Amino acid sequence: MAVALIVAAGRGERLGSGRPKALVTLAGRPLLEWSVAALRAVPEVTAIVVALPAGELDAAPEGTIAVAGGETRSESVKRALAAAPGGDPVIVHDAARPLAAPELFARGVAEIESGEADAVIAAAPVSDTIKEVVHEDDLTVSATLTRSRLWAVQTPQIFRRAALGRVLAEATAEDLAAATDDAWLIERAGGTVRLLRSDPGNLKITTPHDLRIAELVLAERLEVADGGRS
């Protein structure tokens, strides 16, 4: 049976709504609650741990386990894992991705249980051409990457519990700060990471523009669920 960790302890500075992003209202409920609802619809998930800003532990949805997050995202993952009851694999998900569907979580769990990988991570093929620039203040292009090989990584990321626990325990504070995702810690340690095919619809809410798009998507979803009755 799986355990889920939702990291929701960020400040949401780029969204700029004056409070933690996970608690900002999206289509009538806090952003965080969309991920909790999706995970509750996955039968394999037996517990949900939520890492929140230290002063906001009361905001944890009923039935979840609240824990104070850390200074960096990976530190929040580490604290959530430490508070998690038994369960393997471990699903790590960003509250900032409220549109992830139960199907995606379930497919990730099935994939890790049937294969040999240490981690299975949601990703979508990139549609933009990606160029590399070495100096941000100069903006001279140094390379054009081969698009057909590039995948934009998302959450959920699903881990064998022992593998995630080990790399988080071994990482220094600098490693944790440098890790923009947890799978990188596994890669670095020589573990196997596989992609789980997802699509760009699993949006990450970073800016007010992203929030508006997610509102539209959810409004459409609710309308479909309602069968156009209202």
Binding site for ligand CTP (CB under 6 A): 7-14, 21-22, 51, 69-73, 76, 94-96, 206
Q: Between 110 and 178, whose beta carbon lies closer to ligand CTP?
A: 178
**Considering the complex, what minimum distance in angstroms separates the CB of residue 194 from Mg ion?**
26
**Considering the complex, what minimum distance in angstroms separates the CB of residue 18 from ligand CTP?**
12
**Considering the complex, what minimum distance in angstroms separates the CB of residue 164 from ligand CTP?**
15
If contact means CB under 5 to 8 A according to the sort of partner, which of ligand CTP, Mg ion, none does residue 131 touch? Answer: none
Residue type at 195 in one-letter notation: L
Q: Which region, judged by CB under 5 A, interacts with Mg ion, from 10-18, 45-53, 148-156, 198-206?
A: 10-18
Q: Cβ-count burial of 87 within 10 angstroms (0-12 exposed, 13-18 middle, 19+ buried)?
A: middle
Q: Which region, judged by CB under 5 A, interacts with Mg ion, from 3-11, 20-28, 50-58, 173-181?
A: 3-11
Q: Cβ-count burial of 158 within 10 angstroms (0-12 exposed, 13-18 middle, 19+ buried)?
A: buried
* Alpha-carbon gap, residue 67 to 51, rounded angstroms: 5
Q: Which region, judged by CB under 5 A, interacts with Mg ion, from 4-12, 21-29, 151-159, 163-171?
A: 4-12
Q: Does residue 53 touch Mg ion according to CB under 5 A?
A: no
Sign, CA dihedral 159-60-175-141, equals positive
**Considering the complex, what minimum distance in angstroms separates the CB of residue 27 from ligand CTP?**
17
If contact means CB under 5 to 8 A according to the sort of partner, which of ligand CTP, Mg ion, none does residue 99 touch? Answer: none
What is the CB neighbour count within 10 angstroms for residue 151? 14
* Alpha-carbon gap, residue 22 to 9, rounded angstroms: 8
Buried b (16+ CB within 10 A) or exposed e, 119-145: bbbbbbeeeeeeeeeeeeeeeeeeeee
Nearest one of 36, 171, 13 to 94, comparing CA atoms? 36
Q: Does residue 69 touch Mg ion according to CB under 5 A?
A: no
Q: Between 141 and 173, whose beta carbon lies closer to ligand CTP?
A: 173
Tokens linked to 227: 């069968």
Q: Does residue 30 touch Mg ion according to CB under 5 A?
A: no
**Considering the complex, what minimum distance in angstroms separates the CB of residue 70 from Mg ion?**
12
**Considering the complex, what minimum distance in angstroms separates the CB of residue 10 from Mg ion?**
5
